[in-house]
Amino acid sequence: SDGEAVPAAQKAGWGTFLKQIASFTGDLSQLSAPPFILSPTSLSEFPSYWGEPTKEFLAITAGQTPEERQLLVTKWFLATLSGQFTRREKDTGSEKKPLNPFLGEQFIGDWNNGEVKLFAEQVSHHPPVTGYQLEGPSITYAGNCAQKTSFSGRTIVVKQVGHGILTVALPDGSKETYLITLPKLKIEGLWFGAPYVELSETSLIQGSHGLTTTIEYSGKGWVSGKAHSFKATVAKGPHISLANALFVISGEWTGESHYVKGSPADKEGKLFLNASGPTNPINVKPVEEQNEFESRRAWKAVADGIRKGDFDAASVAKTALENSERQKRKDEAAAGTPFQTRLFTTVQNDPEYHKLAALCKHTPADEDSYAFKGVSA
Ligand code: HCR
C-alpha cells in the first residue's frame, strides 16, 4: 500500500512532505521532512565517498601510459558510485535527508594513516555548494558540488551542478589532468516512503591527453532491465558510436562490471571491477579535538537527537545553530565584512576546466571552481 515504509505516526507528515515537493522547485534542503527520513550526517561529509576506494585512487599514478591511466581513473570513478548513491539505502533501508551544512562548515579526515587526506568546506549556503580537495602522493582531486532539483511525476530529479579535476604528477615532472562531470540522479520510491537513488543520462571523464570515457547510466526497465547499470566507452573524444571505442566496460556500478578491448558487443569480457567489496571509511578526529567549524562537532547535539529518536532535542539544537548562523551573517553585513571561506578561495573561469570541457564538448556550467588554501593549524 502507499507509504508502506512510513511509521504509522508519521504518515500524515510524509503526505504533507510529498505534497510540498510536488509543488516545489529549487532547494530541497529548505523543506522540513518528517523525522523518520532525517539523517544525522551533514552533506559536507559526502566528498569522503571520493576517497573510500582508496586503493583505486592510489593505483592511478602507477599507470604506465595515458590509456592505462584513463582506465584506472575510470575504475576509481566507478568504484565511488555505490558509496555516493546507495550507501544510506544499504545502511538504513532508504535514502535520507542529510543535514544542510552551514556556511564555512568543514569536514576533514584521512585514510591509510594520512596517506590520503580530505578537506571539504561549505563555500555557499544559498544555494548550498561544497568545495573539496582529496590529496594523495602525486595525485589530487579537487571539486565542487551543488544540486538543482525538480519534480517529475513521482520522482525527484537532481542535477548535480559541479565538476572535479584530478591532477596526476607524472615521473617526468609533467602533469596530466582529468575532468570529471557528474551524473544526474533520480530519487524514486517516494510514494512508498522508501526513497532510493538511480542514476541517469551520461557523465564524462576527459583526460588532458585526449582520451574520453563516456558513461551511460540506466536503471530497471531500461536496456539491461537491471537497476544501477551502466555502459562506459573509452575513446579518443566523446563517444558517439561503439565503432571507435578502445574499450567498452559494462555492468552494474553497485556490483560487477566487465570490459572488452575494442567493441565486440557479444563478448562477456574480463572482470573490470567488483564494486560490492568492503569499503575503506574515512578516519575523522574525535569530536573533542575538532575545531568549532568541523561538521561532527558543530552538529553533535542535532545528530545525537536524531540517532536517539529524541527529535525535540534535535530540533531545539538545530534551531539554535541556524539562529546563530543567521545572526553571524547579520553582524557581518552590519560591520561591512562579508563572510570569508577559510579553506578554499573562489576561482572564476578556471582555464583548466574550460580546456578539458572543450575537449569533450561539455558545455561548461555557469559555476565557479574553488582552490584549496591549505590549513594553518
Ligand atoms: C540529493 C541528495 C543530496 C545530494 C547528494 C549528492 C548529490 C551530494 C554530492 C555527492 O558527491 C553525491 C550525492 C549523493 C546523494 O545520493 C545525493 C542525495 C540523495 C538524497 C538527497 C536529497 C537532498 C534528500 C531529499 C529528501 C528525501 C527524503 C526525499
* Residue identifier of the C-alpha nearest atom 7 of ligand 1: 160
* DSSP code for 148: E
Between 302 and 241, residue with greater pLDDT? 302
147 CA to centre of own chain = 10
Confidence bin at 1 (pLDDT 50/70/90)? very low
**Taking all residues of the chain, what is their mean pLDDT, rounded to a whole number?**
92
Q: How far is the CA of 244 from the centre of ligand 1 (A)?
A: 35
Q: Residue 207's pLDDT is what?
A: 98
| 189-214: b (≥16 Cβ within 10 Å) or e | bbbbbbbbbbbeebbbbbbbeebbbb
Please choose, from the candidates 83, 61, 84, the residue with its C-alpha nearest in 3D space to the C-alpha of residue 73: 61
Amino acid at 251: G
What is the per-residue pLDDT across 208-257, written as a single tens digit (0 to 9) for each?
A: 999 999 999 999 875 658 999 999 999 997 766 677 889 999 999 999 99
Q: Judge whether residue 377 has pLDDT over 70.
A: no
Q: Judge whether residue 344 has pLDDT over 90.
A: yes
Which among 84, 282, 295 is the best mutation to test ligand 1's pocket, defined by most ligand atoms within 8 Å of the CB?
84
* Residue identifier of the C-alpha nearest atom 22 of ligand 1: 97
Between 157 and 242, residue with greater pLDDT? 157
Residue 329 C-alpha cell reads as 551573517
**Minimum mean pLDDT range among 26-30, 299-303, 343-347, 356-360:** 26-30
Atom of ligand 1 nearest to the CA of 49: 11
Residues within 6 Å of ligand 1 by CB: 28, 33, 37, 43, 46, 49, 84-85, 95, 97-98, 145, 147, 158, 160, 187, 190, 195, 197
Q: How far is the CA of 65 from the centre of ligand 1 (A)?
A: 35
What is the per-residue pLDDT across 103-146, written as a single tens digit (0 to 9) for each?
A: 999 999 999 999 999 999 999 998 899 999 999 999 999 999 99
Q: How far is the CA of 87 from the centre of ligand 1 (A)?
A: 11
* DSSP code for 31: S
Q: Judge whether residue 334 has pLDDT over 80.
A: yes
β-pairing, 116-124 vs 129-136, is: antiparallel
Q: Residue 224's pLDDT is what?
A: 59
State whether residue 362 is helix, strand or coil.
coil
Alpha-carbon dihedral 355, 356, 362, 364, rounded to 10 degrees? -50
Q: Residue 240's pLDDT is what?
A: 62
Q: How far is the CA of 287 from the centre of ligand 1 (A)?
A: 24
Return the top range by mean pLDDT from 61-65, 188-192, 243-247, 265-269: 61-65
Query: Helices 300-308 and 311-335 meet at what angle, rounded to 10?
Result: 160
**Minimum mean pLDDT range among 5-19, 146-160, 238-252:** 238-252
Q: How far is the CA of 29 from the centre of ligand 1 (A)?
A: 10
Mean pLDDT to the nearest integer, 199-208:
97
Q: Residue 109's pLDDT is what?
A: 98
DSSP of 242-298: GGGEEEEEEEETTSEEEEEES--TT---EEEEETTS---PPB---GGGS-TTBHHHH
Do residues 160 and 145 make contact, with C-beta atoms less than 8 angstroms apart? yes
Which among 150, 197, 306 is the best mutation to test ligand 1's pocket, defined by most ligand atoms within 8 Å of the CB?
197
Strands (E), the chain: 38-42, 97-99, 106-111, 116-124, 129-136, 139-152, 155-169, 175-181, 184-188, 196-207, 211-218, 229-236, 245-252, 256-261, 270-274, 344-347, 369-372
What is the per-residue pLDDT across 250-288, written as a single tens digit (0 to 9) for each?
A: 999 999 999 998 866 556 689 999 999 999 999 999 999
Q: Judge whether residue 77 has pLDDT over 60.
A: yes
* Residue identifier of the C-alpha nearest atom 27 of ligand 1: 97
Q: Residue 29's pLDDT is what?
A: 80
* Residue identifier of the C-alpha nearest atom 26 of ligand 1: 97
Q: Judge whether residue 33 has pLDDT over 90.
A: no
Do residues 204 and 362 make contact, with C-beta atoms less than 8 angstroms apart? yes
